[in-house]
Amino acid sequence: MAKKEVVFGIDEKFNLPDSLREKIKEEFTDVFHFVEVNGDGELGRLADPDVFIGWPSDKMLRVMPNLHWLQLPSAGANHYSDHPLLADHVVITNASGVYGVSGAEHILALILAFARGLPVHIGQTAKHIWQPYERPVLIEGATVGIIGLGDIGSEAAVRLKAFGAHVIGVRRHVHDKPDFVDALYGMDEMNQVLGKSDFVVNVLPQTDETEGLFDSERLSCMKPGAFFINVGRGQTVDERALALALRNGRLGGAGLDVTYEEPLPKTSELWDLPNIVITSHSLGLSPERLEKLAALISRNLRNYRDGKPLVNVVNRKLGY
């Protein structure tokens, strides 16, 4: 019986260390034929892949007509869920679970930065100014609204509860409220959450439903002086409306790990606002992320080999 072909799509954003790739290959060498492709210039190496691990380009997708399963290295799947070159039968899985802990700690870092006035202190440090920050905020007792209670949002909620915050969440399905949130709301009740929250954490994926969701009207529902944290997708936020709310003092500050265009253009007004922190899509970085990602890939290859359900299957209609 011929071995099924599995492709590692290697690029500057996804390149497991040789040791991790070899470990994966060694476990499955009896059932899978592994091919490594680095860019569109190596399309000739593809025979008829069943599985692709990585972010395939359009040219790659065109030469893989019999692809059955696409394993993404990211939690987000918005670019591929409705991709016209991916047949309906192709199963897409994402890397949800790999970035939960680092994502939660990143959220906490941004919240703490604004709670203790670190953007102000950093600016003063550069100018050699010794001046206490007179408007600190305590996380204990503060209300934190988490919009999107997936892996990252849930991990953040657990840690925020340990800080003594009142945590309220928004997600599509409101049944079975988890213990780590104090209240749970549906997407249609989001404005209520925004009006109650001292910190709003957006962890939503990019879908047709969430595109531009945080516009001027939505941002105006937030408490005056509240802080907005976006670690979901930049396309969910109207950046002009956000910049205006930050400039006129309607919002106390914003922590952005993602932006509409990445890298954020040097001409963007967001760079120059004093009450903003931009962290350049760094949420997923951690010392263990590649080991966790390799373990997830191995687990799913094992399930694929054994005919068991794959982990982290993306609902292609919803986009996540």
Helices (H) and strands (E) in the chain, counts: 10, 12
| Residue 190 neighbours by CB distance under 10 Å | 19
Taking the C-alpha atoms of residue 309 and residue 304, their distance in angstroms, rounded to an integer, is 7
Maximum distance among all alpha carbons in the chain? 73
Q: How far apart are CA 33 and CA 35, in angstroms?
A: 7
Residue 26 catalytic?
A: no
Catalytic (active site) residue 189: no
Q: What is the Cβ-side half-sphere exposure of residue 163, based on CA atoms within 13 angstroms?
A: 23
Q: Give the amino acid at 237.
A: V
CA pair distance 82, 315, nearest whole angstrom: 10
Q: Residue 105: what residue type?
A: E
Catalytic residue among 211, 262, 288, 302: 262
281 is catalytic: yes
| The Cα angle at residue 103 between residues 214 and 256, in degrees rounded to 5 | 40
List the catalytic residue out of 281, 299, 305, 316: 281
Residue of 171, 218, 233, 250 with catalytic role: 233
Residue 100 CA to residue 155 CA, distance in Å, equals: 6
Residue 28 φ then ψ, to 5°: -115, 15
- Over its C-alpha atoms, the chain yields an Rg (Å, rounded) of 22
Q: Which residues pair with 6 in a beta bridge?
A: 34, 51
Q: By the 8 A CB rule, do 108 and 132 touch?
A: no
CA distances from 97 to 2, 21, 237, 289 (A): 33, 20, 24, 10
Give the residue numbers annotated as catalytic, written as ranges. 233, 262, 281
